[in-house]
Structure 1
Amino acid sequence: MSIGTPRPLPVGGTVRRLAGELWSAVFAADEYAATETVLAALDSGVDPETVLLDVIAPVQGRVGEEWAANRLSVAQEHAATAINERAVAALARHPAARTVPTRGRITVACVDGEWHALPARLLAEVLTLRGWHVDHLGAQVPAPHLIAHLHRTDSDAVALSSSIATRLPAAHAAITACQAVGVPVLVGGAAFGSDGRYAFLLDADAWAPDARSAADRLALGPLPRPRPDHQQLDDLPHLVDQEYTLVTRNSTSLVRTVFAALEDAFPALRTYSEPQRERTAEDLAHIVEFLATALYLGDEDLFAGFLTWTAGILTARGVPAHSLTPALSLLTRELKDFPRAVRVLEHGAAALVPSLGPDTPAPVPADLSTAESPS
């Protein structure tokens, strides 16, 4: 078999059976059973790329879905992810996955602050299987470190991964920095939108919805070298109003002020334990961070989507969705002189209405500490 020409996919039933076996092992936190499932599939002739993208990747997606539905704890989610990562490592060492580079060089990295490294690892392994020389830099790579690496190597392109939308300002900085040294950037991951809208907004050179599509795009030919007049960080005209900068710069004091106002409005908050207070402050910080990102991108729907997702997470954990509304009201009050921020907050509050139900009681901030984050 020539490199880059995968064997025919096994019948769907085989893939489903393998994914079911891997899920059972992952759910049971059985690393040995997981790696044995992967290695046995390779021994039986299943193509390594199929195992990576049609077995391991869907199982990892299910891990996230089960966490969101409150059927996996954060600890279980972390353990499951670690087992999948070990399964990928076992696959990479199998004789069926050994390849000799015959193509160019690709640098694969996660955006600064992005800890969800498995999607980038899957892409790195697929590109390796297809004959690329791959430099996989792993999770949360600061832009200066990425650029230093590019100066030391001769990469044909950078593949940049991000799963969390709040990392998009950092992604923009990395994209611009890579383009400034003449290296094109392909981006992917949930953060860039299911349709790639934020990839195009931030002027990435290419976008792919998944690892297979990214590898296919790179196989078509080299990405175009960045234009001399590539987009600069201040080329998003809505940032002229400085709302993003001011909200970001003052986020800590904003969270502190809103938390104090919540205590004044709802004295029951003062009875929270210290871990509950810390967790509530973290929740407020997440809200402010997504608000700032929506301001950066000029996209009210991003913030609304975050709120409705959060409402679903809370509901799955027995926390009423209306516990979000007091914080939104207080943030709106504190940011009354920021018209774009107010519009984003009001749009988000309106998007929450279907989640609240027709007989929603007066909003009281519930203990949000049960809404653990997997990040």
Structure 2
Amino acid sequence: MNTDLRPTRSDPALLVAGLWEAVFAGDEHTATRLVLRALDDGLAPESVLLDVIAPVQARVGEEWAANRMSVAQEHAATAINDRAVAALSVHPAARTVARRGRITVACVDGEWHALPARLLAEVLKLRGWHVDYLGAQVPAPHLIAHLHRTGPELVALSSSIATRLPTAHAAITACQAVGVPVLVGGAAFGPDGRYARLLGADAWGADARSAADQVQHGPLPRPETGHQTIDDLPHLDDQEYTLVTRTRTGLVRSVLHGLEAAFPTMREYDDLQREHTAEDLAHIVDFLATALYLDDVDLFVDFVTWTAAILTARGVPAHSLPPALRLLSDELKDFPRATRILRLAYDGQATTIATATATATARNHP
């Protein structure tokens, strides 16, 4: 590894390359040294956070999805980036006086991907806000207790995984009920913030920089204390979301048994293979439940498409997905919205597989 890289104010790309090399190698010492050297050389702390560490972390996710990093490597890389942020936060160049108001930054309950929230918290500190960063997986009752105790001007909630959106909705409503406006961000809320609007958030930030800009441009109006939004998701009256969520374990078990009957080779799976298959099925059910909660077909169809790509990258035949979707649809035959969502996802995967098969056949038989 070339540890003599000296990034300059005008060349953050050089620092990105060096930091990625260190992170991929699991070299925490070099990663931290590169970040501190960049600050010594005059690169602004906010730029180091958002133009260097953030894109390196995004690449970590991309490399994991492409099966070029294991889960353990991805966790280690994320931990190194987190340590780099911590080192930056105590560098003299990052010292600021909290001359603005108070903001709470937290991840919704069940959300373990804390680095996006940490980046926002550090950017807000650099811009002069008094920030209470609560970290990953903050239960709503504890969050509300904190708000009562500290009285912030704003809560910034982060979520990267869409299946946490029902929990995020509860947290948004609870914060607003005690008179605190909510800004949300993270991949879970959609690239255009559509789910932020649907769930009643007061503001949405596409990334840490845009979120911090919104906060800086003016205070969000405080919700009326005790106000509760009623019937904001009327489609939930059909109880499909509730029933799918409650029967999650049984649905996974039934579909797993059905797959074993359809694919005899699965009966030879060892315990670890069965566990991984059950986890994949549980994710499918969870995303279906979330699509039902939001009444958004595209969320589930996009998830199935992404899952097929992940399985393919790991050498797992994606042709097992349509049978799983069909079996799940059979289990939920009395649920009109669920069966419609599953049918559309099934049709999309069946078409993709048929196209890929035809293309492969044409290549082999010109």
Relative to the length of structure 2, the TM-score reads 0.93
- Is it true that 1:160 corresponds to 2:149 in the alignment? no
Aligned with 1:33 (options 30, 34, 40): 30
- 1:67 and 1:49 mapped to 2: Cα distance? 26
The answer as to whether partners of 1:322 and 1:360 remain within 8 angstroms in 2 is no
Counterpart AA for 2:269 = Y
- 2:139 and 2:229 mapped to 1: Cα distance? 18
The answer as to whether partners of 1:52 and 1:122 remain within 8 angstroms in 2 is yes
Q: Which residue of 2 aligns with 1:207?
A: 204
The size of the alignment, in residue pairs, is 351
Aligned with 1:135 (options 132, 145, 148): 132
Aligned with 1:91 (options 88, 93, 97): 88
Three-state SS of the structure 1 residue aligned to 2:138 is coil
Q: Which residue of 2 aligns with 1:321?
A: 318
Counterpart AA for 1:157 = L
Relative to the length of structure 1, the TM-score reads 0.91
Aligned with 2:342 (options 345, 348, 351): 345
Distance 1:188 1:359, change over 3 A: closer
- 2:357 and 2:234 mapped to 1: Cα distance? 40
- 1:63 and 1:359 mapped to 2: Cα distance? 28
- 2:183 and 2:132 mapped to 1: Cα distance? 15
Counterpart AA for 1:196 = G
Q: Deviations over 1:212-234 (max 9, x none)?
A: 00111000111111146855364
Counterpart AA for 2:150 = T
Q: Which residue of 1 aligns with 2:257?
A: 260
* Bigger RCO of structures 1 and 2 (CA < 8 A, at least 6 apart): 1
Q: Deviations over 1:24-60 (max 9, x none)?
A: 1001110000000000000011100000000000000
Q: Which residue of 2 aligns with 1:101?
A: 98
Paired-residue identity, %: 74
Three-state SS of the structure 2 residue aligned to 1:295 is helix
Q: Deviations over 1:77-98 (max 9, x none)?
A: 1110000000000000101111
Q: Deviations over 1:118-171 (max 9, x none)?
A: 000000000000000000000010111100100110100000000000000000
Q: Which residue of 2 aligns with 1:191?
A: 188
Q: Deviations over 1:176-222 (max 9, x none)?
A: 00000000000000000000000000010000100000111000111
Three-state SS of the structure 1 residue aligned to 2:106 is strand
My pick for the range that moved more, 261-270 or 275-284, is 261-270
Q: Which residue of 1 aligns with 2:63?
A: 66
Q: Which residue of 2 aligns with 1:120?
A: 117
The answer as to whether partners of 2:156 and 2:183 remain within 8 angstroms in 1 is yes
My pick for the range that moved more, 75-84 or 342-351, is 342-351
Q: Which residue of 1 aligns with 2:5?
A: none
- 1:195 and 1:98 mapped to 2: Cα distance? 33
Q: Please list every run of 5 or more consecutive structure 2 residues that lacks an aligned counterpart in the other structure.
A: 1-7, 359-366
Q: CA deviation at 1:350?
A: 2.2
Q: Which residue of 2 aligns with 1:144?
A: 141
